[in-house]
Amino acid sequence: MQKTALIAGASGLIGSQLLPLLLASDRYAKVIAVGRRPVPQVHPKLEQRVLDFDTLEEHAMSLIADDVYCCLGTTMRQAGSKAAFYRVDYLYVVTLAALTARNFAVQLMLVSAMGADSTSRIYYNRVKGEAEDAVRQLPFRAIHFFRPSLLLGEREQKRTGEQVGAVLLRLLHPLLLGPLRRYRAVPGAVVARAMLRAAEEDGTGIHAHPSNEISQRGTL
30 part of the active site: no
pLDDT value at residue 155: 47
pLDDT value at residue 217: 85
pLDDT digits (tens, 9 = 90+) for 10-41: 999 999 999 999 999 999 999 999 999 999 99
Give just the sign of the alpha carbon dihedral 89, 195, 4, 33: positive
Give the whole-angstrom CA distance, residue 186 versus residue 182: 10
Active-site residue identified among 82, 128, 158, 183:
128
Nearby residues of 73 by Cβ (< 8 Å), 6 or more positions away: 9, 12, 88, 89, 93, 111, 113
| Residue 3's pLDDT band (cuts 50, 70, 90) | very high
> What share of the chain has pLDDT > 90, as a percent?
75
124 part of the active site: yes
Active-site residue identified among 86, 90, 124, 183:
124
pLDDT value at residue 181: 57
Geometric angle at alpha carbon 24, from 20 and 29, rounded to 5°: 110
The structural domains of the chain, ordered by start, are 3-219 (3.40.50.720)
Nearby residues of 156 by Cβ (< 8 Å), 6 or more positions away: 11, 12
The runs of H, that is alpha helices, within 14-152 are: 15-24, 76-79, 82-86, 93-102, 123-136
